[in-house]
Structure 1
Amino acid sequence: MDELQTPEPDRKTYYVSVGAGQVLEDPEAAAFEFAIHANEAELDKLQELFAETQDADEDEALSFKGNPMVSDTPDNATYDALLMDIYRMLHELGTYETKRHIESMNIL
C-alpha cells in the first residue's frame, strides 16, 4: 500500500518524524521521515513509545557520569530498545515506501 492509496476505514494516514518524536496528520506541518496508516489504539501506542523514549533519553542525560565515549550503559540500552520498538511499529503500520525505507536501514 503506498501513500496515495486510501487506508482501511478505521485507519488514518499519519506522518512520523522519529528524531522529533512527532506524529502528524498534516504532511505540510513539519518535516517527516515516514508515512503510516494507524487506528486510534495504534496511534496511542506509538505516541506512548515516543514519550517513553524521551523519558529514557532524559534519564540518560541527567544521570551522565564518566566517559562520554561509552554508550553501552543500562539507560542507553533502554533507549535503544524503545527506539527499536518504534521502528518495528512503523514498519508494521507503514506504507510500502516506509517499509522499504526501514528495511533498507538494516535495523530490524
Structure 2
Amino acid sequence: MENKKTYYISVGAGEIMTTPSASPWQFKIQASDDEITRLRQLFDSNQANSVDDFLRAHVPFVEYHNDSTNDIHDENLMKVYEMIHQLGDAEARQHIESMGILNNFTSE
C-alpha cells in the first residue's frame, strides 16, 4: 500500500498544497504520489485548454454547448471533483455530495 499524504486543494485556482496556510483551499484529501500526479494532470489540462477557450471566445457564433473545448473543461472538472470525493475527508465528500455535481456522471 502506497504512503498517503495530506493535501489541500483549491479547485478554482487549480492548486494542490501541502500546508493549509499556503493559500485559501476548499478540500482536504489524503493521496499517494500517483494520485496527486493524476490530479495535477487534470488541473494542467484545464489550464492548457483555457488558451483554446480564450481563442474560441472571439468567435461569437459558437455556443457554449456546441464547443468541444468547453466539453473537455467540464469533463476534467468532473474528474477533479470525483477524485476529491474519493480521496477527501468526510467534510469534502459531504460538500461534493451536497453540490450534486457528480449525479449522473460516470468517468471512463
TM-score, with length taken from structure 1: 0.86
Q: Which residue, 95, 98, 108 being the options, matches 1:104?
A: 98
Aligned residues: 100
Q: Matched residue of 1:16: which SS? A: strand
Alignment partner of 2:78: what SS? helix
Q: Which runs of 5+ in 2 are unaligned?
A: 103-108
Report the 3-state secondary structure (helix = DSSP H, G, I; strand = E; otherwise coil) of the residue aligned with 1:13: strand
Q: CA offset at residue 67 of structure 1?
A: 4.7
The Cα RMSD (Å) is 1.6
| Aligned residues of 1:57 and 1:76 also touching (Cα < 8 A) | no
Structure having greater relative contact order (Cα 8 Å, sep ≥ 6): 1
- Counterpart of 1:95? 89
Q: Is 1:85 paired with 2:56? A: no
Once the two structures are TM-superposed, the CA of residue 40 in structure 1 deviates from its matched residue by 0.3
Q: Which has the higher helix share?
A: 2
1:90 and 1:67 mapped to 2: Cα distance? Answer: 35
Report SS of the residue matched to 2:28. strand
Please give the TM-score of this superposition, normalised by the length of structure 2: 0.86
Task: Name the residue aligned to 1:32.
Answer: 25
- Decide which of 12, 16, 27 is 1:19's aligned counterpart: 12
Measured against aligned partners, the alpha-carbon deviations of 1:18-59 in whole angstroms (never above 9, x if no partner) come to: 000000001001000100000100011000110001111221
- Identity of aligned pairs, percent? 38
How far does residue 101 in structure 1 lie from its aligned partner after superposition?
0.5
Partner of 1:45: 38
Work out the CA distance in 1 between the residues paired with 2:80 and 2:51: 17
SS in 1 for 2:7: strand
